[in-house]
Amino acid sequence: VTPSEGARDEPGRELEMESVLALRGLVLLRDSVEWEGRSLLKALIRKAALGGEQVHILGCEVSEEEFREGFDSSISSRLVYHDLFRDPLNWSRTGEALPGGPLGALQAMCKRAGPGPVTMALDSLSWLLLRLPCAALCQALCALGRQHACPGGGPAVEPVRVLGLLHGELHGPGPQGALSSLAQAEVTLSGTAGQASAHILCRRPRQRPSHETLWFSILPDLSLDLQGGPPLERHPVPHLPLVDPTTHLTFNLHLSKREREAKDSLTLPFQFSSEKQQALLRSGPGQAAGHIFYEPDAYDDLDPEDPDDDLDV
């Protein structure tokens, strides 16, 4: 992906990604079918290796040769690869497989880690979650940091960082919620207009959780290029002529002078004539004070023998 203009002039975004990498504990990378997360996992592994950390990788979904593609020789030589893809259950009994299955592989990774900052990459948590009980996997992830913090009862060292790739569409809300509760940071991949974005949720000690959305691309050397945002697609707005909405009507909304005069001179049926108005205003000497003037309509049906016929009683 070609980086956008001014992408490298945003140190704040670079520091935000660096702060995610600086967190210890579980960093959850959640991808989907549309936006794969293994490239971002390898980019974070490259950053950790360049920072002088020990990097241990538990490979489950792809072969070691495929996973190492893209790393240059200086980076690849620093990676300690634990192959669980070739023979996960040790059926070949050649001694190359990790003993104890997936749980034993996690414990072996921690035992082989030396002093100093350590990053462990799990490719992927989904593979482990589909083969292990969720509770057992969560306990193993918690034990990674505790075992490395005090190796052999010695002095405490910096806790381990675990980068776990999770395919969100493969699991329900229960397992994802359990892993989310253990994570110090969650990175959810999405995107628009062909460009990937990472929504980052960080949980730092004694601080409120923070949210940040970063746009990025992975360069061929697996370096992470942070960008300002998706390119805006501008479409020219065609010029449309103004259309008179009254052009094709079957009736006329406008009145001529003659039609307006005829309308004003029309006597409406509910209006009293001038004779009735004068009769109401003038009362004769022998007339009662009140009069009822009634003009029957054309559809009135008056029956003197049954005046309440219209009431249906």
- Indicate whether 240 belongs to any domain: no
Give the total number of structural domains in the chain.
1
Average pLDDT over residues 235-260: 77
- Indicate whether 90 belongs to any domain: yes
**Token pair for residue 140?**
């193993």
Residue 16, φ and ψ in degrees, nearest 5:
-65, -45
Average pLDDT over residues 2-28: 57
Give whichever of 100-109, 179-188, 250-259 has the largest mean pLDDT.
Answer: 179-188
**Is the Cβ–Cβ distance between 228 and 214 less than 8 Å?**
no
- Residues of the domain holding 31: 17-227
- CATH number at 144 reads 3.40.50.300
- Indicate whether 1 belongs to any domain: no
pLDDT at 141 over 70: yes
Average pLDDT over residues 23-29: 86
What's the pLDDT tens digit per position in 278-309?
Answer: 776 766 665 555 667 677 676 666 677 776 76
In the chain, pLDDT over 70 holds for what percent of residues?
Answer: 66
CA distance 213 to 230: 12
- Indicate whether 80 belongs to any domain: yes
What's the pLDDT tens digit per position in 55-94?
Answer: 999 999 999 999 999 999 999 999 999 888 887 666 666 5
DSSP sequence for the chain: -PPPTTGGG-HHHHHHHHHHHH--EEEEEEE-SSS--HHHHHHHHHHHHHTT-EEEEEE-SS-HHHHTTT--HHHHTTEEEEE-SS-TT--S-SS-SPTTHHHHHHHHHHHH--SS-EEEEEETHHHHHTTS-HHHHHHHHHHHHHHHHSGGG----PPPEEEEEEEGGGS-HHHHHHHHHHEEEEEEEEEETTEEEEEEEE--TTS--EEEEEEEEE-TTS-EEEES-PPPP--PPPP-----TTTT-SS-S---HHHHHHHHTPPPTTSPPHHHHHHHH---TT--S--------TT----TT-TTGGGT-
Average pLDDT over residues 225-242: 66
Please tell me the pTM assigned to this model. 0.64
- Indicate whether 28 belongs to any domain: yes
* pLDDT at residue number 105: 77
CA distance 275 to 270: 14
Taking the CB of residue 213, how many other CB atoms lie within 10 A of it?
A: 13
- Indicate whether 85 belongs to any domain: yes
- Indicate whether 305 belongs to any domain: no
What's the pLDDT tens digit per position in 153-209?
Answer: 555 556 788 999 999 999 999 999 999 999 989 999 998 867 889 999 988 878 888
* pLDDT at residue number 65: 93
pLDDT at 3 over 50: no
Q: Across all residues in the chain, what is the average pLDDT?
A: 78
- Indicate whether 309 belongs to any domain: no
